[in-house]
A and B are shown apart, each in its own frame.
Chain A
Amino acid sequence: MKNLKISLSIIVAICLFAIGFTGCSTQKTIDSMVIGTTMDIQSISRSDYYYNVLSGTLTHLALVRLDENNEIQPMMAEYSTADNGKTWTFVLKDGLKWDDGEKVTAEDVKFTIEYLDKMENAGRMDKLEAINIVNDQTIQLVYKTANIRALNDLTTLRIIPKHIFENVTDYAGFKDDAAAIGCGPYKFVRFDADAGVLEFEANPDYIGGKPNIKTINVKLFKNTDTMYMALKAEEIGMVYFYAGGIDPSAAADLKSSGNITLTEVQDTSNPLVLIFNNEKTPVNSLPVRQAIAKGIDYEKCRELFGSEYSIPSNYGFIPKSNEGYIDTAALKLDIDGAKKILSDAGAIDSNGDGILEINGTPLDLEILVRTDKPVYARVGELLQSNLKAIGINVILNSVDVPTFRSMTETEHTDVSMLSRFTSFGMNMGAGMSTSYLDGRLKSNAQGQIMDPAFASIVDKLKAATTMAEYDQAAKECQEYYAGSVPAIALYWDVYLQAYNSKYDNFTIDGTFGIVNQQTWYSISQK
Chain B
Amino acid sequence: MSDITKKIISSILCLAAIIIINFFLPRLMPGDPVLMLTGQNEESISAAQYQSFEEKLGINYPVSIQFKNYLVNLFSGDLGYSYHYNDTVANLMKNRIPNTLQLAIPSILLASILGMFLGCTMGYTKKQRLDKSVTTAFIIINAIPSFLLAMVIVTFFAFKLRLFPLGGLNSIVVPHHAILAFGDRIKHLILPISTIVLLSLPPKYMMVRNTVKSATKEKYVLYAKARGISSFRIKFVHIFKNVCPPFITLVGLNLAFVISGSMITEIIFSINGMGELLYEAAIYRDFPTLQGCFFIISIIVILANILTDITCVMVDPKQRFGFYESN
Q: Which residues of A contact B (CB under 8 A)?
A: 34, 40, 42-43, 45, 47, 172-173, 175, 192-197, 199, 217, 219-223, 225-226, 229-230, 232-233, 235, 371-372, 400-403, 405-406, 410-411, 443
Contact A402 B86 (CB under 8 A): no
Contact B270 A221 (CB under 8 A): yes
Contact B172 A34 (CB under 8 A): yes
Contact A173 B162 (CB under 8 A): no
Contact A223 B44 (CB under 8 A): no
In the bound complex, residues from chain B placing their C-beta under 8 Å from that of A172 are 86
Contact A443 B44 (CB under 8 A): yes
A220 is contacted by which of B87, B266, B270 (Cβ under 8 Å)?
A: B270
Q: A222-B266, A400-B283 are in contact. Are A194 and B43 (CB under 8 A)?
A: no
Contact A226 B95 (CB under 8 A): no
Interface string of B76-88 (1 = CB under 8 A from A): 0000000001110
Contact B158 A194 (CB under 8 A): no
Determine which residue in A226, A230, A401 has the highest number of CB atoms from chain B within 10 A of its CB, and name it. Answer: A226
Q: Which residue of B lies closest to A42 (CB)?
A: B85
B170: interface (CB < 8 Å): yes
Contact B43 A219 (CB under 8 A): no
Q: Complex Cα distance A226/B158, Å?
A: 10
In the bound complex, residues from chain B placing their C-beta under 8 Å from that of A222 are 167, 266-268, 270-271, 276
Q: Complex Cα distance A197/B267, Å?
A: 15
Give the bracket for the number of chain B residues in contact with chain A: 35 or more
B269: interface (CB < 8 Å): yes
Q: Shortest distance in angstroms between A471's beta carbon and chain B's nearest beta carbon?
A: 34
Q: Which residues of B contact A (CB under 8 A)?
A: 39, 41-44, 85-87, 95, 99, 151, 154-155, 158-159, 162, 165-172, 174, 266-272, 276, 280, 282-285
In the bound complex, residues from chain B placing their C-beta under 8 Å from that of A400 are 282-285
**Cross-chain pairs A/B with CB under 8 angstroms, 8 sampled:** A43-B86, A194-B169, A219-B168, A219-B172, A229-B155, A233-B162, A235-B165, A400-B282
Q: Which residue of A lies closest to B46 (CB)?
A: A121
Contact B270 A194 (CB under 8 A): no
Contact B158 A402 (CB under 8 A): no
Contact A410 B43 (CB under 8 A): yes
Q: Complex Cα distance A232/B159, Å?
A: 9
Q: Complex Cα distance A230/B168, Å?
A: 12
Q: A221-B270, A371-B283 are in contact. Are A197 and B172 (CB under 8 A)?
A: yes
Contact B43 A197 (CB under 8 A): no
Q: A229-B155, A232-B159 are in contact. Are A195 and B87 (CB under 8 A)?
A: no
Contact B95 A196 (CB under 8 A): no
Contact A372 B283 (CB under 8 A): yes
Contact B285 A229 (CB under 8 A): no
Q: Complex Cα distance A387/B191, Å?
A: 46
Q: Complex Cα distance A226/B86, Å?
A: 28
Contact A217 B39 (CB under 8 A): no
A230 is contacted by which of B42, B151, B166, B284 (Cβ under 8 Å)?
A: B166
Q: Complex Cα distance A219/B270, Å?
A: 10
Determine which residue in B151, B167, B171, B268 has the highest number of CB atoms from chain A within 10 A of its CB, and name it. Answer: B167
Contact A195 B168 (CB under 8 A): yes
Contact A197 B168 (CB under 8 A): yes
Contact A193 B95 (CB under 8 A): yes
In the bound complex, residues from chain B placing their C-beta under 8 Å from that of A410 are 41-44
Q: Complex Cα distance A34/B271, Å?
A: 18
Contact A196 B87 (CB under 8 A): no
Contact B283 A226 (CB under 8 A): no
In the bound complex, residues from chain A placing their C-beta under 8 Å from that of B285 are 400-403
Q: Shortest distance in angstroms between A32's beta carbon and chain B's nearest beta carbon?
A: 9
Contact B270 A223 (CB under 8 A): yes
Known: A195-B174, A196-B270. 6 other contacts (CB 8 A): A47-B86, A193-B272, A194-B99, A195-B168, A199-B172, A401-B283
Q: Shortest distance in angstroms between A120's beta carbon and chain B's nearest beta carbon?
A: 12
In the bound complex, residues from chain B placing their C-beta under 8 Å from that of A223 are 267-268, 270
A196 is contacted by which of B154, B158, B168, B283 (Cβ under 8 Å)?
A: B168
Q: Complex Cα distance A406/B41, Å?
A: 7
Q: Which residue of A lies closest to B165 (CB)?
A: A235
Q: Complex Cα distance A365/B89, Å?
A: 41
Contact B169 A195 (CB under 8 A): yes
In the bound complex, residues from chain B placing their C-beta under 8 Å from that of A173 are 86-87
Q: Shortest distance in angstroms between A16's beta carbon and chain B's nearest beta carbon?
A: 37
Q: Complex Cα distance A371/B284, Å?
A: 11
